[in-house]
């Protein structure tokens, strides 16, 4: 049994649900997960009752402050994923703004470990250039890259700040 208190955002999504199952398999028993009131728990069938659920909006600091109380580790898996241009504003707001809130509050709360899940959509790929890293400029045109790369920049700021502190 592992006693660290963990917060998982996006636990009802594809990656987040797998992460929750993995943490439970590893013996973690003190897992708190954020969700929206209308989020389906279908991907967590059989394990949803083994974690603590809190309704939290990534853009509402008070929600996140409540969710982070007593937490040592944060796994930030929440994001809006869309390939429709009409969703760009919402993606930027939640993916960059929500990530900024998670990063800033993690620093404020002295969170010992913050893991942010992203995807290749953050920077895209060129067929003839398989090597990418944090210096690779965004290449996709579907709207995901600007929001994902904005949230990635938030993480780098967190890393730089935590190394200074």
Residue appearing with tokens 């200074």: 164
For residue 162, pLDDT beyond 70: no
Q: Which helix (H) or strand (E) holds 9?
A: strand 6-9
Q: Distance (Å, rounded) from C-alpha 90 to C-alpha 79?
A: 10
Tokens encoding 119: 């995807």
CB 19, CB 8: distance < 8 Å: yes
Q: At what angle do helices 144-164 and 99-109 cross, to 10 degrees?
A: 10
Tokens of 42: 């279908």
Q: What is the mean pLDDT of the chain?
A: 83
Band (pLDDT 50/70/90 cuts) for residue 164 is very low
| Residue, of 23 and 159, whose pLDDT is higher | 23
| pLDDT tens figures, 68-124 | 999 999 999 999 887 788 988 988 889 999 999 999 999 999 999 999 998 766 666
> Which token pair is 155?
């993480």
- CATH number attached to the domain at 6-164: 3.40.50.720
């Amino acid at each position: 049994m592992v006693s660290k208190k963990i917060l998982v955002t996006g636990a009802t999504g594809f990656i987040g649900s797998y992460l929750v199952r993995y943490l439970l398999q590893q013996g973690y028993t003190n897992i708190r997960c954020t969700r929206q009131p209308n989020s389906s728990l279908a991907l967590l069938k059989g394990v949803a009752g083994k974690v603590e659920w809190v309704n939290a909006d990534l853009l509402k600091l008070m929600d996140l402050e409540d969710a982070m109380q007593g937490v040592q580790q944060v796994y930030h898996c929440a994001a809006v994923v869309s390939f429709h241009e009409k969703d760009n504003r919402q993606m930027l707001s939640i993916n960059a703004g929500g990530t900024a809130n998670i990063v800033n509050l993690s620093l404020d709360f002295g969170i010992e470990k913050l893991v942010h899940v992203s995807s290749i959509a953050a920077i895209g790929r060129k067929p003839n250039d398989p090597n990418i890293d944090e210096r690779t400029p965004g290449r996709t045109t579907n709207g995901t890259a600007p929001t994902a790369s904005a949230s990635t920049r938030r993480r780098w700021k967190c890393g730089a700040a935590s190394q200074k502190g």
